[in-house]
Structure 1
Amino acid sequence: MSHSNFLQEIMRRRTFAIISHPDAGKTTITEKMLSLRQQNIYIYDKGKKHDTKSQIKSDWMQIEKQRGISITTSVIQFLYRGIIINLLDTPGHNDFSEDTYRTLTAVDCCLLVIDATKGIESRTRQLIKVTRLRNTPIITFMNKLDREIYDPIKLLDLVENELKITCVPITWPISYGKEFKGVYHLYNDETYLYTSKHYKEILEDMYVVKGLYNPKLDKVIGIDLAKELRNTIAIMKGVLPDFDKNMFLNGKITPVFFGSAMCNFGVNHVLDSFIPWAPIPLPRNTKTRTVESKENKFTGFIFKIQANMDLKHRDRIAFMRVVSGIYNKGMKLYQVRTGKNIIVSDALIFMASNRFQITKAYPGDIIGLHNHGTIQIGDTFTQGENLQFINIPNFAPELFRRVLLCNPFNQKKLVKGLIQLSEEGAIQVFRPLNTNAIIIGAIGILQFEVVIVRLKTEYNIDIIYESVSISAIRWIECNDVKKFIEFKNKNESNLALDANCNLAYIAPTMVNLSLIQERYPDVIFRNISDH
């Protein structure tokens, strides 16, 4: 492929995550975006055509369907107006925050969905703090306009005051709730009328009124609402800043759209602006240098691992963000951590749980590699260069349970299942050196429930938990071999191996941890594991 064609492929790609507080409508807007994707698209898999027109569900795991919440990030690639979009639908619940934080390292932009009936919620504040670390560009969608919401001006004030980012409205609602009439687009100078039926992206005369002062507007929404809209727009244009793409790309402003994801109203407005505004695939930092997307040699990093996407084959998929170069089917990649080369001949792209083999992938794409236990979150792959991409977090767990088997004969099966689930990064497994116990650590309490369900569903193993006196676990290392041996001999009863056989210290109390750290100043205690 010529360099100019390579650059064109980069220009065609946008990679973003959808983030929100639980129940704000994040998964719904994902599925509505898919309903707007370019139709009659076929993806080739070993010569067979696969029609991707059918409805795709972002929440594909059985427990997600039962609970009605997103548990794991869904990776979806689709075509819209000639642009290849890599969309990552992240879990909203705080108990699954690690998956979301790692996903944010793999995207170039975020769509923030806010429940306009509730305003700014706690999880939204946490997520914005993470995006602020990298000044990630953010587009905001005020959702649920078909219900009784906060006053729109109040919503803008909440975003600016609590999330510390300047709002630039792109569309503006005409009333809300039962009186919701539609939105006015400040930059297109068009009013898009709402219908209680599912809104179709067909801009017919009956759905669009061109011009803020068009007499037709008075007829379709009423004289009073039309007058109020004109006054409001006049005031906003005199007070609020204009949209500036550079300020958006630097994370200084957020363009704001209003609509209803459930009714598929306003979703296309976001996508239509997303294409020209969102950044093309951005560079990524390594420990030694910055890698640009337009570089010819392939690089990529693993930000997520998912076990048992295909229950029949018990497979594990490692999700890679392509940073630079081109993936070609059958190419040899260098796994920096292990120092080994692997041949990748069956890379995948995804539409939630649906997968398709590909022959090529470009910067910004999210591809899947079959993992047989040799790939870890944080791994870097190159064409030979010794690089290590940074800022892919793996946090120490905060909650702990001891696992008890209902059938003791399933011990080996249990260890295998837990290790495979722990590869995803949502839970961590520790095996104390001096006992046969198995300890699970997690960030949130719901993770323990998910493990029980998944072990039963995916491995046919029944477990229960018992409480355990652990306040913290820290990974340990020491450059002084003699002192490290002394430390291990005297503290063996508090040591455990994680799923990757890294040594960790189990602290029964935080006071104990402080005393041990003071007693052994040469030992390094880490609350983030080093991949």
Structure 2
Amino acid sequence: MSIVDLSSEINRRRTFAIISHPDAGKTTLTEKLLLYGGAIHLAGSVKSRKAQRHAVSDWMEIEKQRGISVTSSVMQFDYDGFRINILDTPGHQDFSEDTYRTLMAVDSAVMIIDVAKGVEAQTKKLFKVCKQRGIPIFTFVNKLDRFGKNPFELMEEIEKVLEIRAYPMNWPIGIDGDYKGVYNRQKAQIELFEEAGSRGQKVLPSVLGSVDDPAFAEMLGENIHKALCDDIELLDMAGDTFDLEKVAQGELTPMFFGSAMTNFGVRNFLEEFLRLAPPPADRKSSVGMVETKNEKFSAFVFKIQANMNPAHRDRLAFIRICSGKFTRGMTVVHEKSGKTLKLAQPQQFLAQDRTIIDEAFPGDIVGLFDPGVFSIGDTICEPGQSLVFEDFPVFPPEQFARVQAKDTMKRKQFVKGITQLTQEGAVQLFKQADGGMESCIIGTVGSLQFDVLEYRLKHEYGVDILMHHLPYELARWMHGTNVKPASLRGADRGMFVYDVKDRPVLLVANEWALRWVADNNPSIEFLVAPPDKQPE
């Protein structure tokens, strides 16, 4: 394939994640984007847990029961000449590790903010990761069909709390949080909610293309029209100028107002986002930057998912293509093991629905059957290359429990389930020096992960478990010479364990206990991540 053809395929791709605090409308917006792209013909109900239809991106049974997303999902579709890869992520903070890994695979992010609640706690955390990664962030202020904050107040909140300038691409029409529609600043055009239940949108262009058009005043009423004119004048005089370079550098966020539930403003947002968002970017590696237009294929694994198809009990590794063209049946080298692999049944996704594909390009997300070779962060590339893409961060768990199978006859299934769910990154696994897998220590970021672990072990592996929660909140990897339980002063104040790579870890109840142990063992470093995976 020529570089020209490869470049054109790269330039039409947009790979992005949707992030938000829980209940801001992330999964709903994802569904509506799929709806406009023709990928689905009927949006699922994400609000009613008893509804027959559920959000397409929420494919796990536990997600349908609880009405939340607990794992990231991948959706690909075409729209207006673009090939779009959306990675829908869990909003709940208990599943933030999955979200962080997903953000390693995207080129931009869409941040959803509830118009009534503004910037919430989980939004701050996810935004910080995007900022660290230097990826452009687009803001969609959702639920405009409900009462909400003053838009200037929201702008100020974004700029103060997240420390990024905001440029409104459109502006709410209304007074005191009661909104009627939006004014499109680029098109000088008013869009009003449909009166019949606000389902959809009606575009009402001005004859003169200006907010000063008397026809606007007649449509909106004098008070609302005057408030809109004053707002637009203030924005034009005192607001930021739009600078795509600043967007690319993560210094400015284009801001859109709309309502995903009623479809209002979604199509306009999608079209503007595709126009402004960056195509796939070059990637850092052990041999320097790998250019997307490099004709030699390379990719990395950012997610592993077992049992996406319960009937086949399969295990899939999701890869992000970084360079070159991927073709079905191609041979690649797995860098970590040095093994040569043939990629025979590559798949692309609409959540759990899959299609076998013949080719894919940089920016695309492809699913590969995993015979147990892949781990999160692994690099694969065409033979003749030797490179490793930048490593993934490891986050210290904050809750711990001893877990074992209720029925000892189910030991084999228990070990398989724990091993696979650990490889997925769903939980972190620790073992004591004298302990086997019959009774292991599980670490999580939040308590919901224990619920998911218990549910999946029962329904996917047929194992009921006994779980005993432990009184620890901190995990610290120990680095030094001769780190052993017998030589560690104060080990009785916590629990000495090993991670899956046999690196020593100390679990303690609080910062005070950690300081006591650290003070009494000055030759040992206590790290929030393994020594080879320290955060920047």
Deviations 1:224-244 (CA, angstroms, capped at 9, x unpaired): 212221221112101112211
Deviations 1:35-61 (CA, angstroms, capped at 9, x unpaired): 1004799xxxxxxxxxxxx99611111
CA distance in 2, matches of 1:314, 1:434: 32
Please, which runs of 5 or more residues in structure 1 have no aligned partner?
A: 42-53
CA distance in 1, matches of 2:442, 2:208: 58
Paired residue for 1:87? 86
* Aligned with 2:518 (options 506, 509, 514): 514
Deviations 1:445-494 (CA, angstroms, capped at 9, x unpaired): 1111111111112112111311335554455677xxxx65x847867996
2:449 partner letter:
Q
1:420 partner letter:
Q
CA distance in 1, matches of 2:207, 2:388: 51
Matches within 5 A, 1:42-61: 57-61=56-60
The 8 Å contact of residues 145 and 176 in structure 1, kept in 2 or not, is answered as: no
Aligned residues: 510
Paired residue for 2:243? 244
Q: CA offset at residue 178 of structure 1?
A: 9.1
Matches within 5 A, 1:163-312: 163-175=162-174, 179-195=178-194, 196-197=196-197, 199-200=199-200, 210-312=209-311
- Cα 1:138–1:520 shift into 2, 3 Å: closer
- Cα 1:176–1:468 shift into 2, 3 Å: same
The 8 Å contact of residues 401 and 467 in structure 1, kept in 2 or not, is answered as: yes
Q: CA offset at residue 399 of structure 1?
A: 1.4
Q: CA offset at residue 2 of structure 1?
A: 2.2
Q: CA offset at residue 216 of structure 1?
A: 2.8
The 8 Å contact of residues 404 and 463 in structure 1, kept in 2 or not, is answered as: yes
Deviations 1:298-341 (CA, angstroms, capped at 9, x unpaired): 11111111121111111111111111111111111111111111
Q: CA offset at residue 394 of structure 1?
A: 2.2
Matches within 5 A, 1:61-72: 61-72=60-71
1:259 partner letter:
G
Q: CA offset at residue 506 of structure 1?
A: 3.8
CA distance in 2, matches of 1:242, 1:266: 22
Matches within 5 A, 1:448-463: 448-463=450-465
1:87 partner letter:
I
- Cα 1:400–1:176 shift into 2, 3 Å: farther
Q: CA offset at residue 95 of structure 1?
A: 0.8
Deviations 1:124-161 (CA, angstroms, capped at 9, x unpaired): 11111111112211111111111110111101110011
Paired residue for 1:367? 366
What SS class does the counterpart of residue 411 from structure 1 fall into? helix
Paired residue for 2:148? 149
CA distance in 1, matches of 2:327, 2:463: 39
The 8 Å contact of residues 142 and 256 in structure 1, kept in 2 or not, is answered as: yes
Query: TM-score, structure 2 length as denominator?
Result: 0.88
2:325 pairs with 1:326: yes
The 8 Å contact of residues 149 and 176 in structure 1, kept in 2 or not, is answered as: no
Matches within 5 A, 1:353-364: 353-364=352-363
The 8 Å contact of residues 175 and 224 in structure 2, kept in 1 or not, is answered as: no
Paired residue for 1:351? 350
2:420 partner letter:
Q
Q: CA offset at residue 75 of structure 1?
A: 0.8
2:518 partner letter:
S
CA distance in 2, matches of 1:148, 1:60: 31
2:514 partner letter:
M
What SS class does the counterpart of residue 23 from structure 1 fall into? coil
CA distance in 2, matches of 1:400, 1:55: 32
CA distance in 2, matches of 1:232, 1:471: 49
What SS class does the counterpart of residue 160 from structure 1 fall into? helix
CA distance in 2, matches of 1:332, 1:513: 50
2:296 partner letter:
K
Over the matched positions of the two proteins, sequence identity in percent amounts to 40
Query: TM-score, structure 1 length as denominator?
Result: 0.89
Q: CA offset at residue 296 of structure 1?
A: 0.7
Q: CA offset at residue 520 of structure 1?
A: 5.1
Please, which runs of 5 or more residues in structure 2 have no aligned partner?
A: 42-52
Paired residue for 1:389? 389
Deviations 1:390-440 (CA, angstroms, capped at 9, x unpaired): 141122322110013221211121111011111111201223231242111
- Cα 1:40–1:453 shift into 2, 3 Å: closer
Matches within 5 A, 1:89-128: 89-128=88-127
The 8 Å contact of residues 396 and 473 in structure 1, kept in 2 or not, is answered as: yes
CA distance in 2, matches of 1:432, 1:456: 25
The 8 Å contact of residues 284 and 292 in structure 1, kept in 2 or not, is answered as: yes
Q: CA offset at residue 357 of structure 1?
A: 1.0
2:467 pairs with 1:465: yes
* Aligned with 1:438 (options 425, 437, 440): 440
Q: CA offset at residue 497 of structure 1?
A: 4.8
The 8 Å contact of residues 296 and 326 in structure 1, kept in 2 or not, is answered as: yes
